[in-house]
Amino acid sequence: MAGGAREVLTLQLGHFAGFVGAHWWNQQDAALCRPTDAKEPPGELCPDVLYRTGRTLHGQETYTPRLILMDLKGSLSSLKQDGGLYRDKQLDAAIAWQGKLTTHKEELYPKNPYLQDLLSAEGVLNSDGIWRVKSIPNGTGETSPDTAKWGMGQTRNMEKEGSIRVWSDFLRIHLHPRSICMIQKYNHDGEAGRLEAFGQGESILKEPKYLEELEDRLHFYVEECDYLQGFQILCDLHNGFSGVGAKAAELLQDEYSGRGIITWGLLPGPYRLGEPQKNIYRLLNTAFGLVHLSAHSSLVCPLSLGGSLGLQPEPPVNFPHLQYDAALPFHCGAILATALDTVTVPYRLCSSPVSMVHLADMLNFSGKKVVTAGATIPFPLVPSQSLPDTLMQLGEATPWTPLSACGDPSGTCCFAQSVVLRGLDRACHTSQLTPGTPLPSPLHACTTGEEVLAQYLQQQQPGVRSSSHLLLTPCKVVPPYPYLFSSSLSQQGLVLDGPPTGAAVESIPVLGALRSSSSLNRTLGDLAKDLAKLDLRRWASFMDAGVEQDDLEETLQELRSLAQCYQSGNSLMD
């Protein structure tokens, strides 16, 4: 592998994981297609960590994600299962058979009409498989009161984006033929044949057919790696894929001992009270998933824009400069992918990377394998201000929006944290005050941006073990990323102190954090209380899927034990 990259293999399990993953890979692709006049210097992030090189039968070089993806029958829409990149089926058939050929062509699913419009207007997929992104203004014409803050593009697109049903409609990259693994025994659509329960998911990878298929794909990708640092699992937590993820993590732990396994447990936005079975199954799958995934992973992080993991729904989280619909996976997936693209920076760096194992070791001491995530999207820098100015204005308030459905983090204790700030020009890293001017804060005395960030974190959480990284590279948000942004942002995602420019936001600065926090004591404890209150006789169908009463009791006990790890007094000194 070029440059001695420390490779990571990604497993993407489930349909909401597909939404997050599609946005994630689109953002990686946008970062690869940097314009020649790009301001940020190349080389901060190493794409070879996530991508692999290859060659088609026709000798064309390829660069595809090192990815294994599992989803249900009916979830691919117009995307071909083999990716369509490496194989020319008619040519292959002609090589194998010299007689007359008869072609029977299966009718393809049509592309989502809105996305066809979006992609033709805002990006072009060339015959060479490379996207050419075109910048367009937010819109023209009269501005209504509703669009004064959010721009014409926001109003025009919000309604149409509700028509997006599957992640494969807006995935703009080619996948390797060994990436997609379809589970044919369960349906994506309809009320029958759904993958609803943890036990169903576990049983899938107990079947020789699916287990062998997964193992073959793992061996294919792993054997071509020079230095595999580990695996990242993007896994639905609310449905039966929590069981698939648990068995996959167990397999990885058994077969690849010593490698890092970081699992991102993904949940869609807030749910409705009028769907009791869905909500109970969501609770059970989340509880079983967290317990089993934490047993076999180096680190587990729930990711959701909802406010709660339990039965009592809470409103979705708020971002001051974003307007999104929490009921749309297309929106929620984009925001979570942006956070994920930021908090995973440490093990994707070109220079002095922190391995997945070391990142996990820093955060998961004393049995604390579950961590929380938070992000400020975008980081609210005004062009005329410096980083010390912005951090000082934040004061003692929590600088990021919580993204792990653990409620308000105010007043909680942090045990360890990994923080990444990206996308700020070097000129604003330190104070720009003229010599002799009284310094507004100790941050203004720092001589580097790294020192500013480290000192700020020390002021916020004295004595907490913190790792921090400051990058110039921003997060790309070009189409088909949804237009969620306030019109008060510049093209580079900075907060304008003048009138809107009308230019679409193409990149943003982001502050992201992974934290081992005492908020998990309350969150996991409340999850256990909700689980203990259930009358399982009413939910026999969940138990029929392969989970027994003893399994439930064991999960309940493990959940309580996990919660106890995060009591406020349980620090590094214990």
Residue 516 and residue 536 in one domain: no
Residue at 145 is within a domain: no
Last residue of a domain, one of 315, 346, 364: 364
Residue 299 and residue 332 in one domain: yes
Q: Give yes or no for a contact between 544 and 203, defined as CB atoms under 8 angstroms apart.
A: no
Residue 527 and residue 537 in one domain: yes
Q: Tell me which residue of 210, 283, 286 sits closest to 246, measured CA to CA.
A: 286
pTM exceeds 0.95 for this model: no
Count of domains in the chain? Answer: 3
How far is the C-alpha of 119 from the C-alpha of 131, rounded, in Å? Answer: 10
Question: DSSP string of 73-117?
Answer: ET--TTS-TTTTSS--HHHHHHHH--S-----PPPPPPPPHHHHH
pLDDT of residue 128: 39
Residue 86 CB partners (closer than 8 Å, separation 6+): 54, 56, 57, 62, 176, 177
Last residue of a domain, one of 364, 380, 401: 364
Q: Name residue 281's amino acid.
A: Y
Residue at 234 is within a domain: yes
Residue 210 and residue 311 in one domain: yes
418: left (phi over 0), alpha (psi -120 to 50) or beta: beta
Residue 478 and residue 422 in one domain: yes
Residue at 534 is within a domain: yes
Kind and range of the H or E run holding 181: strand 180-187
Identify the residue whose tokens are 């447990």.
265
Residue 438 and residue 387 in one domain: yes
Residue 184 and residue 299 in one domain: yes
Residue at 353 is within a domain: yes
pLDDT of residue 160: 67
Cis peptide before 320 (omega within 30 of 0): no
Tokens of 275: 């769907």
Last residue of a domain, one of 322, 348, 364: 364
Residue 349 and residue 388 in one domain: no
Residue 500 and residue 558 in one domain: no
Residue 536 and residue 517 in one domain: no
Q: What is residue 573's DSSP assignment? A: T
Residue 7 CB partners (closer than 8 Å, separation 6+): 1, 48, 49, 52, 66, 225, 226, 227, 228, 229
Q: Give helix 519-533 / helix 549-564 axis angle, nearest 10°.
A: 160
- Residue-by-residue pLDDT tens, the chain, 574 positions: 345 789 999 999 999 999 999 999 999 999 987 654 445 556 899 999 999 999 888 888 999 999 999 999 877 876 777 666 665 444 344 334 455 545 444 445 555 665 565 555 444 444 334 433 333 333 333 333 333 444 444 444 655 676 788 999 899 999 999 999 999 888 877 666 789 999 999 999 999 999 999 999 999 999 999 999 999 999 999 999 999 999 999 999 999 999 999 999 999 987 676 678 888 999 999 999 999 999 999 999 999 999 889 888 789 999 999 999 999 999 999 999 999 999 999 999 999 999 999 999 999 978 899 999 999 999 999 999 999 999 999 888 889 999 999 988 877 899 999 999 999 999 999 998 888 889 999 999 999 999 999 999 999 989 899 999 999 999 999 999 999 999 999 999 999 988 887 889 999 999 999 999 999 999 999 999 999 998 877 877 788 777 888 888 999 999 999 999 998 764 443 3
239 is in which domain, residue-wise?
Answer: 7-32+43-84+162-364
Residue 516 and residue 423 in one domain: yes
How far is the C-alpha of 457 from the C-alpha of 451, rounded, in Å? Answer: 10
pLDDT of residue 132: 37
Q: Give yes or no for a contact between 572 and 365, defined as CB atoms under 8 angstroms apart.
A: yes
pLDDT of residue 138: 33
Residue at 292 is within a domain: yes
Residue 437 and residue 508 in one domain: yes
Residue at 123 is within a domain: no
pLDDT of residue 342: 98
pLDDT of residue 88: 47
Residue at 102 is within a domain: no
Residue at 355 is within a domain: yes
